[in-house]
Amino acid sequence: MCGIIGYAGTKRVDKVLISGLKKLEYRGYDSAGLAFITNDNNLEIIKSVGKISKLEEKVNKSNIQFGNVGIGHTRWATHGIPNEINAHPHTSGKVSIVHNGIIENYTNIKEELQSKGVTFYSDTDTEVACAYINYIYETEKDKIKCIQKACKHFRGSYAFGIIFEDDKDSIFVTRRDSPLIIGISDGENFVSSDVSAFLSYTKKYILLDHNEFAKVSSNSVLIYNDNGDLLNKEINIATWSDTQYEKNGYEHFMLKEIYEEPLVLKNIFNRYLNDISYLKDVDLSIYNNIHIVACGSAMHAGLVGRYLFETYANIPVTVDVASEYRYKNQIITDQTLVIIVSQSGETADTLAALRVAKSKGATVLAIVNVLGSTITREANIVIYTYAGPEIAVATTKGYTSQVAILATLAFEISRKHLTLDEKNKIISEMNNIQNILNYVLLKIEEYKDIAKSIYKKEHLFFIGRGIDYSMCMEGSLKLKEISYMHSEAYPAGELKHGTISLIENKTPIIAIATNKNLYEKTISNIKETKARGAFVIFITNEELDTTGDFYDIKLVLPTSTDFLQSLSVVTALQLISYYTAKERKCDIDKPKNLAKSVTVE
Ligand code: M6R
């Protein structure tokens, strides 16, 4: 989603803003722009549609004498098509603004301003917010107070970066729900949607909280609360380094991040398996029902979690997509544990679901990757995945690390139900995860062959039962989002209730059967599709490996307990999607229409 960068210092502002915007590209965008102060104290704006490189070209061709203060933006269109007029920054009177989020009541405000003679040029809610701040500024000359007054009128979510034409040294920022971070350095300061944009300049940062307002200049950062009191905020040190945001020789971030999975998972089990201090003083045994709430792949990780909690700990679990959960009647008692799963920790629907659950008295445990993100600041207990920055829009290590944490938690709660042998087996596999996944990564040629067999097709099905079905859900989403092939995941036994009518000669089916108890049943369902001409790619494990005439291609992966099997299978599915998207010449790291961090509802 939209990305904000701002700079006040001594360097040439265009260079800092463009390099920051490049770091924010992964969030997803369709246009970009800059507003900055020139050396001769004018406020200039440059925008362009498409890649940052186009904006950079425009900047380089201009004859402007760039100054040292400015704001920049990558826009992911919500209100109005991606064109230059709708691109940020927007300007009204003395105010220029960049915005991440949505002003829900912008239509009313627009009408109010139009009735006072204000003209609008774009379709955006942001131009309306800008005009409203400018309108307030006509009577309230204290800039912080002006922004506070305007924000009281806005409904929705926002992070704003603002420049006033009559203050050439400062950027003003505030936020509600959308993220905004202030980077601190000597003689220069930054603002951004995430630390990646300024990590090459400084590792020191301040997390701006909701309804806080800041004036950021080269030599000072002044932060105020809603009442106008000056705050003394903690300075944090980023643990992620700038090089983690580089491809380091890999063709795509997605591939690099898949190759990071063995180590990330090893670290998770090392860190959490025998040390449950991360649970603080929470006794998990008091909960007799669990709600897992998340979006997209994080929700699919939750499906694996549900299987494990229900099967091994005998606890009933519901899994909901956050955008549904937040509006349904959530039945929460004091024995309900709500588990929120989110890589970014900023997903708007997931955050809203967390707030609803907390308001109903639930204990909320969040599994999150991004340190200091909004969800981590609002949950009762936080378990970090420590997977490092994930840049590719399609999550890979983000997903597997969430599954690993859920598996650790499920194991912890199930201990009393497991035999000593079972416990030892699970622990030994957790300790060996790096080798298991490295072995999965060795099968590259097999993944490439599978990709070659399906990449020309437009439709594909994933089928499986039980925990295999959860893996199908994630495999199918991965393929859709990066290769643009239509794909559906079905419980293998459900196909015959309708969808089997779509199976015809050579329709590709990826069938997963790694679960011993359901294996025979799944094979029967695979045969039903084969009898109708399907082209079957059969994925199983070494223990269940069998030959037969019910598949066209077979992929055999290492055998694991239920707690870990999805880690190796989904890693293989990620690579199949990757090579399929590559065959189809897709923009793998930045699929069309998608954003990494979905900060609007
Ligand atoms: O940051 P989150 O984990 O909260 O994101 C949730 C989904 O938006 C995310 O998993 C999305 O489905 C990915 N693009 C899938 O690869």
Question: In the 3-class helix/strand/coil scheme, how is 216-245 assigned residue by residue?
Answer: ECCCCEEEECCCCCECCCCCEECCCCHHHH
Domain CATH number, residue 292: 3.40.50.10490
Does one domain contain both 220 and 314?
no
CB 218 within 8 A of CB 10: yes
CB 32 within 8 A of CB 75: yes
How far does residue 300's CA lie from ligand 1's centre (Å)? Answer: 10
* Structural domain span for residue 41: 2-244
Ligand 1, atom 11, lies closest to the CA of 296
Tally of structural domains, the chain: 2
Question: To the nearest whole percent, how much of the chain has pLDDT over 70?
Answer: 99
Q: What is the DSSP string of 11-74?
A: S-HHHHHHHHHHHHGGG--SEEEEEEEETTS-EEEEEEES-HHHHHHHHHHS---EEEEEEEEE
Which is it for the CA torsion 62, 63, 68, 70, positive or negative? Answer: negative
Does one domain contain both 142 and 257?
no
Res 429: pLDDT? 95
Res 285: pLDDT? 84
How far does residue 42's CA lie from ligand 1's centre (Å)? Answer: 41
Residue 240 in any domain: the answer is yes
Q: What is the DSSP string of 553-564?
A: EEEEE----HHH
At which residue do the structure tokens 């269940």 appear?
544
Torsion of CA 147, 152, 158, 164, to 10 degrees: -10
One of 2, 146, 151, 295 is an active-site residue; which one? 2
Reported as a pLDDT band with limits 50, 70 and 90, residue 282 is confident
Q: Would the pLDDT of 278 be above 80?
A: no
Identify the burial level of 141 via C-beta atoms within 10 angstroms of its C-beta, where 0-12 means exposed, 13-18 middle and 19 or more buried.
exposed
Does one domain contain both 278 and 317?
yes
Q: Smallest Cα–Cα separation from 348: which of 65, 76, 38?
A: 76
The two structure tokens encoding residue 123: 């379709």
- Does residue 518 or residue 27 have the better pLDDT? 518
The two structure tokens encoding residue 594: 């998608």
How far does residue 304's CA lie from ligand 1's centre (Å)? Answer: 16
d(CA 403, CA 396): 11
Catalytic status, residue 149: no
Ligand 1 atom nearest to 598, measured from its CA:
8
Residues with CB under 6 A from ligand 1: 295-298, 342-344, 347, 350, 393-395, 477, 481, 598
Q: Smallest Cα–Cα separation from 286: which of 172, 362, 357?
A: 362
Q: What is the DSSP string of 444-493?
A: HHHHHHHHHHHTT-SEEEEEE-THHHHHHHHHHHHHHHHH--EEEEEEGG
Ligand 1, atom 7, lies closest to the CA of 296
How far does residue 348's CA lie from ligand 1's centre (Å)? Answer: 11
Does one domain contain both 345 and 399?
yes
d(CA 484, CA 580): 10
The two structure tokens encoding residue 493: 């036994």
Phi (first) and psi of residue 293, to 5 degrees: -130, 130
Does one domain contain both 275 and 349?
yes
Give the helix, strand, coil percentages of the chain, each rounded to 5: 40, 25, 35
Res 493: pLDDT? 94
How far does residue 50's CA lie from ligand 1's centre (Å)? Answer: 23
Residues in CB range of 408: below 8 A, 6 or more apart: 268, 269, 272, 273, 430
Domain CATH number, residue 62: 3.60.20.10
Ligand 1 atom nearest to 370, measured from its CA:
1
Segment holding 128, helix H or strand E: helix 125-137
Question: What would the pLDDT profile of 93-147 be if each residue is shown by its tens digit?
Answer: 999 999 999 999 999 999 999 999 999 999 999 999 999 999 999 999 999 999 9
Does one domain contain both 288 and 415?
yes
Residue 405 in any domain: the answer is yes
d(CA 325, CA 157): 19
Last residue of a domain, one of 225, 244, 263: 244
Residue 593 in any domain: the answer is no
Last residue of a domain, one of 244, 272, 301: 244
User: What integer is the mean pLDDT of 175-189?
Assistant: 94
Does one domain contain both 476 and 551?
yes
d(CA 426, CA 407): 10
Q: Would the pLDDT of 597 be above 90?
A: no
Q: Would the pLDDT of 63 be above 90?
A: no
Ligand 1 atom nearest to 596, measured from its CA:
14
d(CA 442, CA 458): 28
Reported as a pLDDT band with limits 50, 70 and 90, residue 280 is low
Does one domain contain both 238 and 270?
no
Does one domain contain both 236 and 259?
no
Distance of CA 443 to the CA centre of its chain: 28
Torsion of CA 295, 296, 298, 303, to 10 degrees: 100
Torsion of CA 383, 388, 389, 394, to 10 degrees: -80
CB 533 within 8 A of CB 504: yes
The angle formed by the CA atoms of residues 143, 148 and 154, to the nearest 5 degrees, is: 130
Res 242: pLDDT? 81
Does one domain contain both 306 and 379?
yes
User: What integer is the mean pLDDT of 595-600?
Assistant: 82
Residue 599 in any domain: the answer is no
Enter the DSSP assignment of 533: T
Reported as a pLDDT band with limits 50, 70 and 90, residue 219 is very high
Residue 7 in any domain: the answer is yes
Which residue among 344, 391, 596 has the greatest number of ligand 1 atoms within 8 angstroms of its CB, and so is best to mutate?
Answer: 344
Residues in CB range of 118: below 8 A, 6 or more apart: 92, 131, 135
Distance of CA 326 to the CA centre of its chain: 18
Does one domain contain both 300 and 214?
no
Q: Would the pLDDT of 274 be above 80?
A: no
Which residue among 27, 252, 258, 295 has the greatest number of ligand 1 atoms within 8 angstroms of its CB, and so is best to mutate?
Answer: 295
Residue 594 in any domain: the answer is no
Ligand 1, atom 8, lies closest to the CA of 296
Q: Would the pLDDT of 276 be above 90?
A: no
Residue 491 in any domain: the answer is yes
Reported as a pLDDT band with limits 50, 70 and 90, residue 385 is very high
Q: Would the pLDDT of 62 be above 70?
A: yes
Residue 595 in any domain: the answer is no
For residue 330, how many C-alpha atoms fall within 13 Å in the half-sphere facing its CB? 33
Q: Smallest Cα–Cα separation from 476: which of 590, 552, 573?
A: 573
How far does residue 342's CA lie from ligand 1's centre (Å)? Answer: 7
Q: Would the pLDDT of 320 be above 80?
A: yes
d(CA 194, CA 181): 6
Last residue of a domain, one of 244, 267, 284: 244
d(CA 212, CA 193): 15
How far does residue 532's CA lie from ligand 1's centre (Å)? Answer: 35
* Mean pLDDT score of the chain: 94
One of 47, 530, 582, 596 is an active-site residue; which one? 596
Ligand 1, atom 12, lies closest to the CA of 296
Res 592: pLDDT? 87
Does one domain contain both 429 and 519?
yes
Q: Smallest Cα–Cα separation from 62: which of 79, 39, 82, 95?
A: 39
Catalytic status, residue 596: yes
